[in-house]
């Protein structure tokens, strides 16, 4: 055999062996560092989607959102805070919103807007763990230098810095542009890490109708761009609906025949379906965590048309319609399918849970209120890592929940938001009385529950007193 032929055959064999032995190009994400897609609705009640009793009942079936529950876990006792900013702050920092408002000079809390630069966000935890990160949509946690999303761990951001209700302003014939330096139109903003955010289109009622379509497209584009890479990704898709004004996209206006809220519900389900299809088509499903949840319960204003299921009232209140929202999670092979749990969980648990999943050590210079829920979510245990939460409105401590019991130090007039100071706290059994209509009589058999409820309050107040808070703004 000629020498050249022998060399060629050996070379071909080596190439074939290399091709067989070399692993294929890996998609983003892995068992220990899965991709994460967090879908957050804005003021979206517990009862809106099909698996919580809504969907068809609300004028729009939600098969795509429901599929997350069918393929994963549905929680019926997932808690948030009563207002947008503290709720988003708690989710992003693992700390109750009251802590993120703490002044550096002592325990008195102000009402500053959002979170400080000092807080370590979920995006920073994941970024430090090797993730590429993006936020598409509403931020609402800081609109000054150093406090935009791309200053707080996100590589990319397109969206609005403030609340969705500012869409009303440009169309108001009473708007006075000289009223106050901060009373300005919200504009769509864009930025990348290390860049100064730039302002673009005015966020008015017309833009309001299209923004959720646009941020869905941007999320899909990000997943396509990063899904083929060798780094896991985190997408925070922060929808602006169903916060007022509820304005459906032109393609969905009148689609259901049941009004704008149902149109937006149908629209959102289709958008989530597109997102899930993208993940599945890119063969990323098995190593991607998908979460669908909300920052608050339904709008508190009359005729907002949101639905809280069996729970009382809406946001800006201490009642369950404010504090309980949907929570669905899909992670094939890790989170068991078709599981439903009424165990308690809170938005503060997300950061420590994800930190544990990716192996990130949290700093020890602050108090964390969140618990690592990995074992609970993955079905290793049926019990949540928490059995209590505290309840604030603004900086006012309203009460506490322990298991399925609730103690309110104060109540609220739902129509006027007037606070009612109580001579004796109200205690509710949320299994027996989900509407919180009739407080337990404190001289009957259930007085024993005062002890665990008050213990949670006392422990929390001690932790607040001992919390040094942020060292600076």
- Model pLDDT for residues 389-438, shown as the tens digit of each residue: 999 998 899 999 999 999 999 999 887 888 999 888 999 999 999 999 99
Determine what percent of the chain is predicted with pLDDT higher than 70: 90
Residue 15's pLDDT band, with cuts at 50, 70 and 90, is very low
> Three-state SS string across 325-377, please?
CCEEEECCCCCCCCEEECCCEEHHHHHHHHHHHHCCCCCCCCCCCCCCCHHHH
Q: How much is the pLDDT for 415?
A: 78
Active site residues per annotation: 84, 140
pLDDT band at 24 (very low <50, low <70, confident <90, very high): very low
- Render pLDDT for 250-305 as a digit per residue (tens, 0 to 9): 999 999 999 999 999 999 999 999 999 999 999 999 999 999 999 999 998 777 88
Instruction: Identify the pLDDT of residue 105.
Output: 47
The answer on pLDDT for 101 being more than 80 is no
Q: Is residue 20's pLDDT more than 50?
A: no
Percent of the chain with pLDDT over 90: 77
- For residue 443, the model assigns a pLDDT of 60
Q: Which domains does the chain have, with CATH numbers?
A: 35-387 (3.40.720.10), 390-466 (3.30.1120.10)
| pLDDT tens-digit map of 157-202 | 999 999 999 999 999 999 998 888 878 889 999 999 999 999 999 9
């Amino acid at each position: 055999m000629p020498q050249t032929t022998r060399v060629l055959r050996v070379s071909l064999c080596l190439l074939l062996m290399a091709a067989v032995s070399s692993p294929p190009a890996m998609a983003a994400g892995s068992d220990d560092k899965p991709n994460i897609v967090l879908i957050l609705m804005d003021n979206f009640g517990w009862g809106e989607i099909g698996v919580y009793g809504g969907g068809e009942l609300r004028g729009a079936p939600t098969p795509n959102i429901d599929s997350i529950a069918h393929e994963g876990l549905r929680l019926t006792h997932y808690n948030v805070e009563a207002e947008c900013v503290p709720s988003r702050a708690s989710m992003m920092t693992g700390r109750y919103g009251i802590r993120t408002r703490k002044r550096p000079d002592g325990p008195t809390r102000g009402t500053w807007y959002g979170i400080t630069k000092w807080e370590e966000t979920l995006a920073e935890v994941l970024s430090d763990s090797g993730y590429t990160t993006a936020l598409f949509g509403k931020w609402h946690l800081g609109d000054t230098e150093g406090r935009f999303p791309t200053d707080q761990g996100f590589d990319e951001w397109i969206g609005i810095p403030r609340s969705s209700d500012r869409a009303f302003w440009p169309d108001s014939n009473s708007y006075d542009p000289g009223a106050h330096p901060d009373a300005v139109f919200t504009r769509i903003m864009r930025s990348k890490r290390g860049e100064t955010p730039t302002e673009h289109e005015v966020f008015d009622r017309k833009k309001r109708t299209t923004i959720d379509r646009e941020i869905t497209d941007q999320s899909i584009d990000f997943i396509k761009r990063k899904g083929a890479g060798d780094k896991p990704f985190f997408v925070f898709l922060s929808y602006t609906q169903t916060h007022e004004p509820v304005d459906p996209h032109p393609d969905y206006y009148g689609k259901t025949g049941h009004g704008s809220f149902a149109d937006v519900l149908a629209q959102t389900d289709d958008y989530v379906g597109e997102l899930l299809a993208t993940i599945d088509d890119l063969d990323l499903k098995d190593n991607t965590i998908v979460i669908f949840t909300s920052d608050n319960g339904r709008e508190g204003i009359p005729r907002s048309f949101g639905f809280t299921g069996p729970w009382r009232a809406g946001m800006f209140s201490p009642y369950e319609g404010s504090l309980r929202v949907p929570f669905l999670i899909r992670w094939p092979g890790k989170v068991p399918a078709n599981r439903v749990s009424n165990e308690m969980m809170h938005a503060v648990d997300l950061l420590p849970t994800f930190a544990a999943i990716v192996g990130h050590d949290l700093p020890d210079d602050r108090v964390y209120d969140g618990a690592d829920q990995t074992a609970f979510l993955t079905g290793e245990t049926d019990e949540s890592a928490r059995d209590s939460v505290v309840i604030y409105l603004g900086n006012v401590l309203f009460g506490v929940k322990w298991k399925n019991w609730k103690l309110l130090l104060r109540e609220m007039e739902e129509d006027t938001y007037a606070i009612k100071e109580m001579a004796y706290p109200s205690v509710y059994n949320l299994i027996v009385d989900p509407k919180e209509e009739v407080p337990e009589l404190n001289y009957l058999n259930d007085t024993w529950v005062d002890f665990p409820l008050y213990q949670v309050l006392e422990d929390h107040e001690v932790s607040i007193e001992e919390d040094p808070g942020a060292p600076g703004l």
